A and B are shown apart, each in its own frame.
Chain A
């Protein structure tokens, strides 16, 4: 029996503001438990929220970057449910007038472009952290409220995805876009980017959607994909056995690689949304919206396509470059200095990225400046140094941030292009390797490679290979 898989994703991203959404508490990650709390984020009696302007504008920026229609009149609503990490037992969120609605993002799945629609984008407050002690027989849980009240962006997609590949591309693309806009650090390991999936199956060709199952507790993109695969097979088995799919919420168990029921439709929560009376509504005028629009940078896909078009980079290279905004910014800076996009691209995605990974460097704060890499590549191009030398200079630049010229002078690395100097060396080599010359005369043409090698060795790699080649060829002709 063939089924069509229908997948929708809910994404939560913590906004990287200095303070929380409704109070002046610090949002820094990894602080001592319960040291970033105040009466407001603890939901004490009589306290009131005041909205963080930065958080609101970040959310607006994201909504625009995700091509949403902005609700010119928007406000907050209360979403009520009891949970010990939720101080007021209601979450201040948005329901009736979401900040952004009906957006979309463009994803690429094996080189085909595809549109995934965004249902809505809204701003809400983060909950605290529950800790469940491991020790046997622990009959209690502990709460750290440092995260409670951190501004959270929720992005709800339409159920537009049909397979794992699309889901993966959606997550990657969305992550890139959010990261490019600079509103969140998107660190999944720190929980600042999280996904929840809802999956339903329907007989191929059928219009009506099947009952959807929501899956929570997915703390990496891998587990999202694994959980969805598991769910697809679970549901199709049930359907094949002629059983009904129940509408429910399931929790993914990473260790056992399976999901377990959390609550069924009957137990579905009644959130009792109503407008937050402690906060006044917001009106977003053209002027404000445009000023936020102006802060949105060129987004990954556009940038990639521009790289391919105007620098003749391969799709693959452009992808690698635009993976990280910093990296592609670095590249653009270089190109401004020397117009050698292909060479620069190779240096960046091979040498630079390798160094960054090995030495755990942060591209934003590299010692080596784009202009420096540019001039290095320039010197290779004009023959001042060879590739081999360049590598040596490069690793020095990464560590010290010195100008390539300085390094070359200090180490006397600049290439020998003076013919007489090279002829001297060549003669020396010919004299000291008579049998190689013999072999060459006997017709062993590859002996020449050995001789060139010796010349380079003699010149500590600084002889200009092109010139060495020509001189040697002439010499050997003479010997013939």
Chain B
């Protein structure tokens, strides 16, 4: 699995990174190396093996539909890089 500069641009856009051409080159070669190493997994036959997502199987854990205290709006807004009135503020989002 080799990774082209086009691939790098694509994953960078998925990751919301802005990369210089220099960075693209370096990352591409490093990712290529790692992906090459990962190839070794294809030597294994996993046809009838179930994927393991959680180390052990506990199921059906819930909470009741009961109100719990929230945080104060002032507190929440005070953490934000930009606010306006009672809102979080971001650059214009065009629908």
Contacts and interface: CB of A to CB of B under 8 A. Distances in A.
A and B touch in the complex (CB under 8 A): yes
Interface of A: 17-19, 23-26, 32-39, 42, 50-56, 75, 80, 82-84, 130-132, 138-145, 217, 251, 262, 270, 272, 275, 277, 280-283
A140 B69 CA distance: 31
Nearest to A44: B79
A37 B70 contact: yes
A398 B76 CA distance: 48
29 contacts: A18-B65, A19-B68, A24-B66, A24-B67, A24-B69, A24-B70, A32-B86, A33-B73, A38-B68, A42-B76, A50-B63, A51-B61, A51-B62, A52-B62, A53-B62, A53-B65, A82-B16, A83-B93, A84-B88, A131-B87, A139-B91, A141-B92, A143-B89, A277-B53, A280-B58, A280-B61, A282-B59, A283-B59, A283-B60
A130 B92 CA distance: 10
B1 interface: no
A227 to B, nearest CB: 15
Report whether over half of chain A's contact residues are helix, strand or loop; otherwise say mixed.
Answer: loop
Given A84-B93, A282-B60, A283-B60, A35 B73 contact: yes
A365 to B, nearest CB: 23
B14 interface: yes
A390 to B, nearest CB: 45
B8 interface: no
Nearest to A141: B93
A56 B68 CA distance: 18
Interface in B17-62: 53-54, 57-62
Given A251-B95, A270-B14, A144 B87 contact: yes
Interface residues of B, number: 33
A25 B76 CA distance: 14
Top 3 closest A-B pairs, CB basis? Answer: A24-B68, A142-B87, A53-B62
B62 A50 contact: yes
A40 to B, nearest CB: 9
Contacts of B63: 24, 50-53
Nearest to B79: A44
Nearest to B91: A140
Nearest to A216: B95
Nearest to B53: A275
A277 B71 contact: no
Given A54-B64, A281-B53, 13 more contacts: A18-B66, A18-B67, A19-B67, A34-B73, A34-B76, A34-B77, A34-B87, A50-B62, A84-B88, A132-B93, A132-B95, A139-B92, A142-B87
Contacts of B85: 33, 142
Contacts of A26: 67, 70
Nearest to A253: B95
Nearest to B93: A141
A316 B30 CA distance: 71
A199 to B, nearest CB: 20
Contacts of A39: 71
A263 to B, nearest CB: 11
B15 to A, nearest CB: 10
B59 A84 contact: no
A82 B69 CA distance: 28
Contacts of A281: 53-54, 57, 59
Contacts of A75: 53
A42 B86 CA distance: 15
Best-buried of B68, B85, B88 by chain A (most CB within 10 Å) = B88
Nearest to B65: A54
A132 B92 contact: yes
Contact of B54 (A25, A140, A272, A280): A280
Nearest to A281: B59
B46 to A, nearest CB: 17
A142 B88 contact: yes
B84 A140 contact: yes
A140 B84 CA distance: 10
B72 to A, nearest CB: 9
Contacts of B62: 50-53, 56
A282 B67 CA distance: 23
B71 A33 contact: no
A436 B89 CA distance: 83
B28 to A, nearest CB: 19
B44 to A, nearest CB: 20
A33 B87 contact: yes
A54 B89 CA distance: 33
A18 B54 CA distance: 30
A144 B84 CA distance: 11
B60 to A, nearest CB: 5
B82 to A, nearest CB: 8
B61 A84 contact: no
A275 B84 CA distance: 36
Contacts of B53: 75, 275, 277, 281
